[in-house]
């Protein structure tokens, strides 16, 4: 039986604690290719480098890091160059914290998977919903079952399937659900030093709303949440509303 070829990337970099457990588990049934940022790139979303060269470091066969590269850079470089025409599935993670609701907009982990789907490869982002004591080995085993299903059912072609997966500790099962809505209390913190004034975004999670049977709800109930992400961001209902309310120009 021919093994599938899986590209692994992340936004936690080469030292991300979820990387090696994921490689170890998926290596049991697939050929693994890795391109990750050298440094942590959390919150970089879909950012890319357009006007500068990025240094490549080879760790071992089929395993590379991009110095200063973003998660999206990693997937682009892998699919366009390093492993062109080889990859059957992109897996991004395992992220050190959950990516729920609108987190998927900011997340570098989700962005790497989204980029794979943009480029026609079925893709998955995987996040741990247990920052204090994540068991990455268990998460990798749980996700491997989903990955096997995806490899059997999802085909290449633009745009491809993009799944956002969050895994809680001691999970009961798997639920396929929509994104919820999270509300954050954010503020800008000022720090004055002899070298100048610096600013930092800070805040804490407040609450969620409209979350019944959402990814947030299922995670709270100890289920793995699986959310298919639509790559077309057009608000089709709003198109109709605007045409009706604005009339002719």
Distances (CA, A) of 67 to 13, 14, 118: 10, 10, 23
Is the per-residue pLDDT at 205 higher than 70?
no
Question: Rounded to two decimals, what is the model's pTM?
Answer: 0.92
The radius of gyration of the chain's CA atoms, rounded to the nearest angstrom, is 19
Tens-place pLDDT, residues 155-167: 999 989 999 999 9
Which strand (E) or helix (H) includes residue 242?
Answer: helix 236-246
As given in the structure block, the two tokens for residue 55 are 């240094």
Do the beta carbons of residue 40 and residue 14 sit within 8 Å? no
pLDDT for position 131? 72
Other residues' Cβ atoms within 10 Å of the Cβ of residue 14: 19
pLDDT over 70 percentage in the chain: 97
Structure confidence at residue 64 as a pLDDT band (50, 70, 90): very high
Mean pLDDT of the chain: 93
Is the per-residue pLDDT at 230 higher than 80?
yes
């Amino acid at each position: 039986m021919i093994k599938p070829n899986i590209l692994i990337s992340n936004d936690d970099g080469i030292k991300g604690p979820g990387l090696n457990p994921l490689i170890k588990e998926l290596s049991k049934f697939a050929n693994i290719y890795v391109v990750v940022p050298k440094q942590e790139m959390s919150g970089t979303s879909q950012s890319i480098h357009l006007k500068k060269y990025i240094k490549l470091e080879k760790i071992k066969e089929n395993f590379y890091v991009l110095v200063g590269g973003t998660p999206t850079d990693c997937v682009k470089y892998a699919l366009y160059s390093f492993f062109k025409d080889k990859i059957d599935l992109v897996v991004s993670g395992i992220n050190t914290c959950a990516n729920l609701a609108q987190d998927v907009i900011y997340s570098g982990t989700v962005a790497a998977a989204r980029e794979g789907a943009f480029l026609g490869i079925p893709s998955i982002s995987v996040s741990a919903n247990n920052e204090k004591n994540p068991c990455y080995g268990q998460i990798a085993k749980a996700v491997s079952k989903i990955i096997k299903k995806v490899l059997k059912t999802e085909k290449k072609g633009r745009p491809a399937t993009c799944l956002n997966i969050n895994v809680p500790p001691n999970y009961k099962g798997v639920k396929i659900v929509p994104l919820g809505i999270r509300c954050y209390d954010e503020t800008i913190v000022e720090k004055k030093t002899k070298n100048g004034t610096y600013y930092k975004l800070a805040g804490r999670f407040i609450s969620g709303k409209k979350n019944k049977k959402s990814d947030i709800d299922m995670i709270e109930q100890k289920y793995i949440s699986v959310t298919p992400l639509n790559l077309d961001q057009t608000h089709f209902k709003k198109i109709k509303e605007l045409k009706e309310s604005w009339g002719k120009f």
